[in-house]
Amino acid sequence: MHIDLPKKLYYSIGEIAKAFNVKTSLIRFWDNEFDVLKPKKNAKGNRRFTNEDVKTLKLIYSLVKEQGYTLDGAKSYIKSKKGKSLKNFEIITKLESIKDKLMKIKSEI
């Protein structure tokens, strides 16, 4: 899954929801359900997501929406793999991006 976000330090919940094509309520729900998500909150309580949070959200999205994990299953997967699951997911995402670029080049030849 490719998420198109501008390069920034912090993203609002609206920007995140739009990038993932989901409602803001789902992002809030995942924030409450998954301990690994820790967005910063300003004085008003608005969530500000970092690039690390976006990576974690990509993993959660992939597990729940694409691979069909239940919330408990996704939590267990993330907890059992600790940092490895996020690193592995980042590597897979980069490899898929490279594959897409190579396929595009191949089709142009």
Taking only the tens place, the pLDDT of each residue in 19-74 is 999 999 999 999 999 988 989 998 998 999 998 899 889 989 989 999 999 999 99
Q: What pLDDT is stored for residue 25 in this prediction? A: 96
- Report pTM: 0.72
DSSP string of 3-68, one letter each residue: ----S-S-EEHHHHHHHHTS-HHHHHHHHHH-TT---EE-TT--EEE-HHHHHHHHHHHIIIIIS-
Q: Give yes or no for a contact between 88 and 77, defined as CB atoms under 8 angstroms apart.
A: no
Whole-angstrom distance, CA of residue 77 vs CA of residue 71: 10
- Please check the confidence at residue 1 and state whether its pLDDT lies above 60: no
